[in-house]
Amino acid sequence: MKQTFILALALMLSLASCQKETNPSTDQFTLRNKGADMPVWVEGNPESKVLLVIIHGGPGGDGQIYNTYLKGFSQALELDYRVVYWDQRGSGNSAGHFDLADLTVATYVDDLDKLVDLLHFRYGDDKSIVLMGHSWGGTLGTAYLLDPVRQAKIASWIEVDGAHNFLGMPEIIRAFDQIGNEQIQAGQSVDRWQNYLDYCQTIDSLNPSDKAISQVNAFGFEAESLLSAAGAIVQETGELAPFKHQFRGSFSSPIAKLNSSQTNFALFEELKGTNYTSDLGALQLPSLFLWGKYDLVVPLELGLQAHAQCGSSKKSMRIFEHSGHSPMSNEMEAFVQEVKSWINRL
């Protein structure tokens, strides 16, 4: 059955058609592929030879949260590079008319490939494209790069708390056990942490129910508030612009929420069986892995696996000691410095 994703008239009028840029520092256009209309914003240093493509989380998240909301993060990167913010199909303010059956990892990989080709066409083959995938974006970026032809188009891969093994339930339960017991021993939110640990004990980690998967994921995000209150996670976000993100930027909360709910549902069955661990040796390009120590959504153990299994001779890993699932928010300045240092050494 066809599913129509809402067409936002104001958005579509504001996006430029696919033609050469007219403003050298800000460019907006629509990527159209297989029935999806996906907005793309390119902002930053027009003299840079680097295009840093942010592959947002979700599935069903949005690219603009890294731009308009996390303004300190985006502005710091845009000083040095052109940063590409892309709303994936069925995500953010994307629109179009396509089958829900097209919401597969393979389709998202094809969308990303079309975006990479379009960026090379639009800005020139002399530009280096660096992919940065966060959370689900790590899954998508990994799936994209496993093909050597696609990999050859990319200068470097940066994975941020990304899910190459999308469920990773044994790793998640071990992380809850370790971090939870540390917090209990420190006398921090003892009842809440004990509730998490008791629930994890009821789960078959190798064959979890859909309900258990959803609940543990919710606990992972919920626990970050406890870790913040305890001082384990810091909030060094730099400038935030929530009002601009919700009301003044190229973002519509109702559309994004509708997209997110449908996309999560449509992709769930495929993603819960997606595990690229044994394929990571195919990643031969320079690869940087950035992880929050207190991530209970995609735990550090998965990041260590990804770094160890990556086949590149040029790879590095940075653990952010006071971060959860989003170190670009928790330790923004250190995160940005790590990204810039890596890119400038390529």
82-86 and 50-55: which strand pairing? parallel
Instruction: Spell out the residues 6+ positions from residue 143 whose beta carbon is closer than 8 angstroms to its own.
Output: 105, 108, 109, 276
> CA–CA distance from 239 to each of 47, 67, 224, 257 (Å)?
24, 11, 20, 24
Q: Tokens for 205?
A: 């980690």
| Helix ranges restricted to H, the chain | 9-14, 71-78, 105-123, 136-145, 148-151, 169-185, 190-201, 210-229, 242-243, 253-271, 300-309, 327-330, 332-344
Q: Write the burial class of residue 19 (CB in 10 Å: 0-12 exposed, 13-18 middle, 19+ buried).
A: exposed
pTM: 0.90
Segment 84-123, tens digit of pLDDT? 999 999 998 898 888 888 899 999 999 999 999 999 999 9
Query: How is 29-88 classified by DSSP, letter by letter?
Result: EEEEETTEEEEEEEEE-TT-SEEEEEE--TTT--SGGGTTTSHHHHHHHHTTSEEEEE--
Segment 184-231, tens digit of pLDDT? 999 999 999 999 999 999 999 999 999 999 999 999 999 999 999 999
Given a cut of 60, whether residue 276 has pLDDT beyond it is yes
Residue 37: per-residue pLDDT:
95
Q: Among 45-54, 95-104, 298-307, whose mean pLDDT is lowest? A: 95-104
Length of the chain: 346
Q: What are phi and psi of 30, to 5 degrees?
A: -115, 130
> What average pLDDT score do residues 322-328 get?
97
Q: Among 37-41, 252-256, 333-337, whose mean pLDDT is lowest? A: 252-256
Q: Which residue's structure tokens are 């661990």?
A: 277
Helix (H, G, I), strand (E, B) or coil at 89: coil
Specify which residues 131 forms β-bridges with.
Answer: 53, 157
Instruction: Spell out the residues 6+ positions from residue 339 whose beta carbon is closer than 8 angstroms to its own.
Output: 52, 77, 132, 158, 288, 290
Nearest-angstrom CA–CA distance, 32 and 37: 5
pLDDT band at 252 (very low <50, low <70, confident <90, very high): low
Give me the domains of the chain, ranges plus CATH numbers. 2-167+235-344 (3.40.50.1820), 169-229 (no CATH)
